Amino acid sequence: MSQILKDYLNTQLTELKDNGLYNEIDVVEGENGPVISIDGQELINLSSNNYLGLATDEDLKQAAKEAVDSHGVGAGAVRTINGTLDLHKELEDTLAEFKGTEAVIAFTSGFNANQGAIPAIMKKGDAILSDELNHASIIDGCRLSGAKIIRVNHSDMDDLRKKAKEATESGEYNKVMFITDGVFSMDGDVALLPEIVEIAKEFDLITYVDDAHGSGVMGKGAGTVKHFGLEKEVDMQMGTLSKAIGVVGGYVAGSQELIDYLKVAGRPFLFSTALTPADTKAITEAVRKIMASTELHDKLWENGDYLKAGLKNLGFDIGHSETPITPVIIGEEKLTQEFSKRLKEEGVYAKSIVFPTVPRGTGRVRNMPTAAHTKEMLDDALKIYEKVGKELGII
């Protein structure tokens, strides 16, 4: 190894560990369900994005098996050569119905969807107004575009209006986009989409909503945009297929013209082998389940409200979440890491989230109750939270 590289890596790793910012990666043995096993220890799992419990659903497993039997284990090519299978068309048609748009394009991940869609539309000479708490994949997609990035204070409509007016009236930019998460994953709050759409209409902004944590959760499952009835007003809806949907992948939903263009201009779509047959069929099964019944969605919200009330009653700072995502905000990074470690030792897996995922001094453990949790599991988790919180002087 290069000595320069070795010295750099050792310096960076030491600094991260000294500041409580080094992330230890645990290995889950078996399924990622409401209870998981790590190093032989069974833990109540409050760190999964598997909101509806579909990652372990028997119907999805069967759909995946049937796809392997009929189509093999891989798509065999990128979508634009001969990797577009009938299963991909079925999935994209189903997603378009689900999201209430004319068409959908599927990518191999949500990160890829943002990396593909944002730079395909926005270029050097354009401007992107971006909420300051947007996900890293949005930030990276914006950087790749070459457009001027203008940070907007989080969910601050006065700041958005001011900066939209400045950008559009300056004459410097060919086009201007506003981009935001639908549900913000670290705090659980929801974008003010009705107000955003109103401002976008006033200044002719392109609107882009990353609904990774809203699909399956908001709008009776159809997402944050549909929750507000704005599927005909938002230009671009991005979502993942790996969280509430329970599998892997991402997509962008919008007009037929938009999707036709992204299929020839979205670089991750052009240069990545297509989603596997098994994943594609399982995703389609998941979306159809969500469209057919709100049972899992309703159970998720019931469990989320129950855990949130329990943590708040114990005296924890849970922020201002409007969704089942429930942060317990600790603040100092080393204490946050110690809190997460002690929870794990007592039987709860709630991963610490620190800088750079969240700003310095706002460390938290983020709780993600799912439709698969029982009240007994949540009660046991609350007892452990109380014990560890008192032991460390947090409550």
Tell me the Cα Rg of the chain: 21
Q: Which of 109, 130, 185, 242 is catalytic?
A: 185
- Helical residues (DSSP H) of 123-276, grouped into ranges: 136-145, 157-169, 193-203, 224-227, 256-265, 267-271
- Alpha-carbon gap, residue 386 to 73, rounded angstroms: 47
| Known catalytic membership, residue 213 | yes
The catalytic position among 135, 163, 213, 351 is 213
Q: Let me know if 185 is a catalytic residue.
A: yes
Q: Which among 243, 281, 297, 308 is annotated as catalytic? A: 243
The closest of 120, 63, 127, 128 to 289, measured between CA atoms, is 63
Catalytic residue check, 154: no
CA torsion sign for 143, 148, 151, 157 is negative
Cβ partners under 8 Å of residue 101, min gap 6:
231, 237, 253, 254, 255
Distance (Å, rounded) from C-alpha 32 to C-alpha 47?
10
User: Do 54 and 246 meet the contact criterion of CB atoms below 8 Å apart?
Assistant: yes
Strands, E assignment, 266-372: 326-331, 348-349, 352-353, 363-367
Residues designated as active site: 185, 213, 243
